[in-house]
Amino acid sequence: MALKPVDLNKIKERVPNLYEAVVVAARNARRINDEQKLEFNTLLSSVISGEDDEFEDKINPEQLKLAIEFEKREKPHLKSLEELINKGIEYRYKS
């Protein structure tokens, strides 16, 4: 996997305070990760497991295919930073 540098000046154009941008991106990444976990677990539970529950070490090709698909997706922190730079993420302070 190649490293993908992020230009901090692009982030600073969207959010004047870089530290706030990091916190906003981190919280958004957690939200994205939680959504992906929920989707993965939902799809995983819908995959029919083998008839024999005795042998849990057997590899289920459907489960393996699903796991590889989710592994190839863009990582949540990179997706969040990309959203912050391109679209801008709306956030507000707690009062």
Cα–Cα distance for residue pair 46/63, rounded to 1 Å: 10
Q: Is residue 40 part of a domain?
A: yes
Q: Is residue 18 part of a domain?
A: yes
Q: Is residue 56 part of a domain?
A: no
pLDDT of residue 60: 80
Question: How many separate domains does the chain show?
Answer: 1
Mean pLDDT of the chain: 84
- What is the average per-residue pLDDT within 17-21? 89
With CA atoms as reference, report the closest residue to 49 among 40, 41, 39, 59.
59
pLDDT of residue 53: 56
Q: Is residue 81 part of a domain?
A: yes
Q: Is residue 65 part of a domain?
A: yes
Domain extent at residue 66? 8-45+61-85
